[in-house]
Structure 1
Amino acid sequence: MRKNISTASKLLLASALLLPASAAAFSPSWSSAATVAQSVSPISAQAKEYGVFLKEKFGVTVSDKLTRGQFVTALNAILASAPGAKAVSTAGKTTDRLQAAEAVQLALTAADLKELAATYSADKTKKALAALKLNWKSNAYASDKARTLAAAVDAGLLTSDYYAEIRNDGLASQSLATALLGKVLEAKGQYKHYLGYSSDADIFAKLNDAYRTSDIIQAPELRKIVDEALKQDLVTGYNLKDSRYDANFIDSLSLVYGHSDFKHALQLIGLLRSEGIKAKVQFEPKTSAFIYLQEWGDPGVSDLYEVVQIENGNYIEYAKEYDLAFEFASTADKNRFNDIVLRYAKKNEEKQAGLIYGSWWQPLYYSQTELKDYKKISNNKISAGHYYAQSFSLKLQSAAVTAGFKKLDPSATVVNYDFWVDGPFFNYLQGESK
């Protein structure tokens, strides 16, 4: 659920280390000391959102007087978490103030778009930069600097909010630097992952596509470990998930809601819309595993589950389910979610009217940050590659579950952490039925 930044990256940011210079990083005209006046851009809404993400996930706070070295350090903190990414280096004095055009070039390189710039002819470059109203001489559009800016505009790294900074050959503003870092996050797959917003006109179509193309997760090596935990009654059930679908949302604004029936998901989105809630939505495929007792009868065959008979005659059932991750526009909206679910999506009696389809006695939704009326429990998580299995438990049971996983496979990566779950599900963990 959470993405941990390496200790090395944290130390790099904490000490604000500056990387060694590389003579090939910039053309000489770009590496001279910045002496021109800064063209200050107001912090855009998008830059603010990127800024919150950078601070929470990477410990990066962008200064309003950013140096070249600090910007490179921030870029490399992002790249350190991106598989196969190479660090960016810079020429010249790392203590010099960062120029706007220079920031764009560094971001383009970090986003793996450097070679794209080389494909631009002078005419294509001039056309791409027309909206910037640069008033350059014709031969300037054949330069590496011009091609870099043109590629950044077409690729969406450099947006119209910051054209004035380029036009005035100014210093990079806090807003521009933050926006560029955010664009690099997106290009490297290190930013938030979501289908769209609950308010989008096509959100139902996107959810349908996501559900239709999801399958029961196999992960045989991982299942072998946690299935044995089921057989030994170490856990009563577990979820299998794929980290490549994790939303990577801001913890303070997000929560995760789990269910098995897709019709319920559609109605839940409709419910949020009807209550004026606009939230980012990510569909996270999930497989739930539990013991199916032999006395319950023939489990049958379905596209929604698989069963495997075990030594004592019972079965392990693997059911196709899902999590919906939401990131809300405000903490107030996040706080409202509990009241909405308890009123319209929590079953309190048989044949209860006024609920959305498939409402459970004990719905499951949880937050990585503390919320009123939520209860603290533990997640016991074991990973293998990009797959992970997790089993929720009361805090007092967590150490035993974690130790049991480690005993079953001493080489496995096992982590344990606390989070906050809705009251009805907490009651379920305590053995209550409603």
Structure 2
Amino acid sequence: MVLQLHVWGPAFSLPSIDAQCLAAIAYCSEVLPKDSWELIASSDPSVSPTGELPALQNGSTWVSRFRNIVDYLRQYSEGAWNLDENLGDIEHADSVAFSSFIESRGQPLLDLSLYVTSQNYYNNTSPAYGALLQWPNQWILPPKLHGSAKSRTEYLGLSSLDLQAMEEQRKREHSAAVASGQIPKNFIQQPRETVTKLLGRTAQHNQFRLEALTAEFFEPLEAMLARKSYLLPDQSGNPSSLDCIALGYLALALVPELNFPWLRDAMRAKAPQVTAYTERMRSRCFGDVDVKIEHAFQPVSVGPEAELAKLPWRAPERVSVAAVGSTLLSTLADNTPFLREIRQNRRLKQAVQSDGDFSPVQKHLLAEYADSSNKDMLVSIVAAVAGTAALVGYMVHVGLLSFSGGGHAEEEDDEVEGEVTHLDPGSAADFLGAL
């Protein structure tokens, strides 16, 4: 059985636009024989039962998330496919700790760089997704990912990187001031601020905060590398799973050519050893050829380009009409309040059950929480329906709302058959008085 790794597709000369997917690709390229797996740029989380990418498929078995994929490959191969087999207990503990550090510090920086920074999102990231996705996902997924990144980084206080949001906020404040009479009429028409002005003020406002965030991420990695080939000491001289997860985040910080490359500039200035390490790991795991979208969607099996290609690409299947319909229905459900909550609780249960980081007790408690949340929501729906029915019944009982039958077919055309509802002023006054 050939293993299939489903990922977000290529962008910025890298085999994926997502850090976790890059980490999974790097690990599989290091540990798996080339003819034992296929790389599929499905770019659609719905292909996985858990709704997440990367996702490793082995027949009917699906495994999502980088750490779960690493554990599954180790167990499936009975230890043969394991980059960490030569690590001691201390190195294993360091690997877990630094993996958590890279994910928790690296993801917010990538969110800020690729999504929150307006110049980069609208000129680089959004077009990259547009080239990857098919209709209707190309209109649905990028705004959703953009909004999620902004929500995840809101606590950092760097929303001013989003110039569009700043301009919209300025317009709202201006309109409110006009409405309240604080601005004379002859000053109402004000010229719109240019992007250059906004960018200049934004850079000054965010400079110190970004300096601190990038230093907190890059400087510990620079010190940890300390002229070693890899992050953890290994007598075999090979990278570990920690190096794969580091490559996923560092490559997206260094490689993309962005309109506002503040993250890449900070990496080169603060961590020259990490920069060289990232380039070396990128060449080792992804090959020396820049990855293009054509490699994923139209892979070649013969010729010089095929010989240089390190990754076993397989073209994704064409989207079916049923898949398009399912996507549209899922989007509609996610935007319907009650259905959205039910679907979120179901995803929570699936994610918990598939995640090996949770203990059996934690899985049981989180599953119970999801079930009780669904029950509470159903009770709220029933209560709302029953309350509405009771109100309508009471209004009919007191005469505030009445229903009268229609006339006969031979009656004149101006008589409305089945006409409903007349409001009695006296009954209305009695009803309001009773309230």
**Scaled by the length of structure 1, what TM-score is found?**
0.18
**Scaled by the length of structure 2, what TM-score is found?**
0.18
**Structure whose residues are more often helix by fraction:** 2
Larger radius of gyration: 2
**Structure whose residues are more often strand by fraction:** 1
